[in-house]
Amino acid sequence: MQVDVELKNVILETEGNLATIIINRPKALNALNSDTLRELDIVIDSIENNSEIYCVIVTGAGQKAFVAGADIAEMKDLNSTEAEEFGLLGNKVFRRLETLEKPVIAAIPGFALGGGCELAMACDIRIASEKARFAQPEAGLGITPGFGGTQRLPRLVGAGKAKELIYTCAMVNAEEALRIGLVNKVVPVESLMDEAKKMASSIIANAPIAVKLCKDAINRGTQVDMDLAIKVEAEDFGKCFDSEDQLEGMTAFLEKRSKNFQNR
């Protein structure tokens, strides 16, 4: 594992075709202030521009928290213009992760609250440790979720469950998060990063262009009606046939040999 970029609150490590983003403010339980959001934006640039990176893990430093939310100390005294800027910055960064042309796995050791739960939901896949806890506590702070929680949570767990969680601010444990479909998998905290890397390796073994187009088809297709959605799928399916890896994958199968994808 090589440290590629080390900013004040965010570390970017790379290892082969995998990039790991670590939100590194453990003293504030990795809460997202505007500096951290700006740094996240910078590391996303770096990942986006690195054609060797096929998969990304996002995690929080330490075992106590993934991210305990937007930084309440910084938010408290914002005026409406500053609050809007903060919201726009967070939404831009989260949307960039959601639409990044590489799959993103959230590895969640502990608290994923407010903006932290929203960050996890902007990732493609969520792996939680048994100690992870999830909530949207915003209504208890006098605000609405502002980094996509009112939109992504109902899409993951259904409108009824999302309303329950957002109106009550109830905290759910990892087992309940798995049951309601908020996370994909729950693992012991000691094996969290190994499990996330194992899943990343299974993704990296496949054709990166196909994986990118699968993400695009799922993201775009689930936002539109089925008639349009199957056209989106057909469009992305067609694009695979512009890639060398499509020919390699199918030829390798027919020649009964292992494939050698080139991300071309």
Q: Residue 141, interface with ligand DAK (CB under 6 A)?
A: yes
Candidates 60, 103, 109, 114; binder of ligand DAK (CB under 6 A) is 114
Residue 214 token pair: 């699968």
Q: Tally helices (H) and strands (E) across the chain.
A: 12, 11
Judged by CB, which is closer to ligand DAK: 34, or 263?
Answer: 34
Q: How far is the CB of 166 from ligand DAK (least distance, A)?
A: 12
d(CA 32, CA 139): 18
Is 108 strand, coil or helix? strand
**Comparison of 21 and 68: residue with beta carbon closer to ligand DAK:** 68
Query: How far is the C-alpha of 89 from the C-alpha of 178, rounded, in Å?
Result: 29
Say whether residue 81 binds ligand DAK (CB under 6 A): no
**40 touching ligand DAK, by CB under 6 A:** no
Choosing from 21, 22, 31, 204, the residue that interacts with ligand DAK (CB under 6 A) is 31
Long-range pairs for 158-166: beta carbons < 8 A, 24 or more residues apart: 165/135, 165/136, 166/136, 166/138, 166/139
Q: In this chain, which stretch among 8-16, 24-32, 180-188, 238-246 interacts with ligand DAK, using CB under 6 A?
A: 24-32
* 134 within 8 A of 182, measured Cβ to Cβ: yes
Question: For 26, which DSSP code?
Answer: G
Active site residue 118: yes
List the one residue from 16, 62, 87, 154 that touches ligand DAK (CB under 6 A).
87
Is 138 catalytic? The answer is yes
- The least CB distance from residue 29 to ligand DAK, in Å, is 4
Binding range to ligand DAK, per CB under 6 A, among 46-54, 120-128, 133-141, 240-248: 133-141
Query: Any residues with CB less than 8 A from the CB of 163 and at least 6 apart, and which?
Result: 154
Which of the ranges 98-106, 112-120, 199-207, 238-246 carries the binding residues for ligand DAK, by CB under 6 A?
112-120
Question: Given 39, 84, 118, 175, which residue is catalytic?
Answer: 118
- Report yes or no: 231 and 251 within 8 Å, Cβ to Cβ: no
Q: Which of 60, 103, 146, 148 binds ligand DAK (CB under 6 A)?
A: 146
Query: Per rule CB under 6 A, is residue 10 in the interface with ligand DAK?
Result: no
Q: Does residue 61 bind ligand DAK (CB under 6 A)?
A: no
Q: Does 119 bind ligand DAK (CB under 6 A)?
A: no
CB of 171 to ligand DAK, least distance (A): 8
Beta strands in 193-250 (DSSP E): none
Alpha-helix residue ranges (DSSP H) falling in 29-122: 34-48, 72-75, 80-99, 115-122
Task: Could you list the beta-strand ranges (E) of 110-200.
Answer: 111-113, 125-129, 133-135, 172-173, 185-187
Q: Which residues are catalytic?
A: 118, 138
Query: What does the binding site for ligand DAK look like in residue numbers (CB under 6 A)?
Result: 28-29, 31, 68-73, 87, 90, 111, 113-115, 137-138, 141, 143, 145-147
